[in-house]
């Protein structure tokens, strides 16, 4: 769930955002519908130089009984401490990790790798995947695969890779890039960006070798039901908890 100004939003290629509902109510609904985990990303937090709202985390934690990750505007050990104490199971860092890679090491040393997720937003520029910061607004020269390897070496427990080219398009995940990440890394890779049909999930587990798949609009706007999706994945031989 992308959060902006306390509301769940969804766009296409990181722009043209539209309202998708109250995040606490959605979290409760998804938990009851059978989602395995939830991810809350405050997409305006870094841009507006403010912290992810700890009270939202607390309200979500009171409502649901599945793991959830929170990201957006996290730049210190103190930020993470507050979020975990308010109920988050994991935290996700993105722009702050690129600007200060030592932050990954510091967080892992303090809290353990199991709760430190590094999110990477990237898009293809001249045939190469380049990392972008601040909700996809600031391009860098940093190569996706080089950065992902460094993230792993610094101790992060998972990588959440969002293809900006695929985000919101509903044309499928970036399976070629995902497979390359999976083949070169030893930590779990979460696929994000592009889900539009049930077979896209099957494809990203089989072709993209993703360990998990994240989607938003297809669930927010009830285009795919979680129960139906999980049953289809199981019928395709993909290990899934029903």
Return the residue matching tokens 């985000």.
167
Return the residue matching tokens 């109510």.
25
CB 123 within 8 A of CB 129: yes
Question: Does the active-site annotation cover 2?
Answer: yes
Which is catalytic among the residues 2, 42, 167, 203? 2
Sorted by sequence, the CB contacts under 8 Å of residue 16 that are 6+ apart come out as none
- For residue 133, which of 215, 4, 43, 194 has the smallest C-alpha distance? 43
Phi and psi at residue 2, in whole multiples of 5°?
-85, 130
Question: Does the active-site annotation cover 79?
Answer: no
Sorted by sequence, the CB contacts under 8 Å of residue 130 that are 6+ apart come out as 122, 123, 124, 139, 140, 141, 142, 143, 144
Q: How far apart are CA 38 and CA 69, in angstroms?
A: 6
Which is catalytic among the residues 36, 55, 81, 121? 121
Q: Is 161 left (phi over 0), alpha (psi -120 to 50) or beta?
A: beta
Q: How far apart are CA 31 and CA 75, in angstroms?
A: 28
Residue positions annotated with a catalytic role: 2, 121
């Amino acid at each position: 769930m992308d959060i902006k100004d306390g509301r769940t939003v969804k766009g296409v290629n990181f722009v043209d955002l539209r309202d998708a509902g109250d995040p606490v109510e959605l979290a409760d609904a998804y938990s009851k519908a059978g989602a395995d985990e939830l991810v809350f990303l405050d997409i305006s937090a870094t841009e507006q130089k403010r912290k992810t709202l700890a009270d939202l985390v607390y309200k979500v934690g009171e409502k649901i009984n599945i793991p959830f990750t929170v990201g957006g505007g996290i730049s210190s050990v103190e930020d993470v401490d507050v979020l975990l104490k308010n109920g988050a199971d994991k935290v996700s860092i993105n722009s702050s990790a690129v600007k200060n890679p030592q932050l990954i090491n510091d967080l892992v040393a303090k809290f353990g790798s199991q709760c430190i997720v590094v999110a990477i937003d990237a898009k293809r520029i001249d045939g190469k995947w380049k990392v972008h910061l601040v909700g996809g607004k600031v391009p860098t020269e940093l190569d996706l695969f080089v950065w992902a390897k460094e993230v792993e070496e610094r101790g992060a427990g998972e990588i959440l890779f969002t293809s900006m080219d695929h985000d919101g398009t509903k044309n499928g995940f970036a399976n070629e890039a995902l497979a390359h990440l999976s083949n070169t890394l030893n930590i779990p890779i979460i696929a994000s960006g592009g889900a539009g049909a049930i077979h896209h999930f099957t494809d990203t587990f089989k072709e993209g070798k993703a360990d998990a798949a994240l989607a938003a609009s297809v669930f927010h706007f009830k285009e795919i039901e979680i129960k139906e999706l999980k049953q289809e994945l199981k019928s395709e031989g993909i290990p899934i908890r029903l």
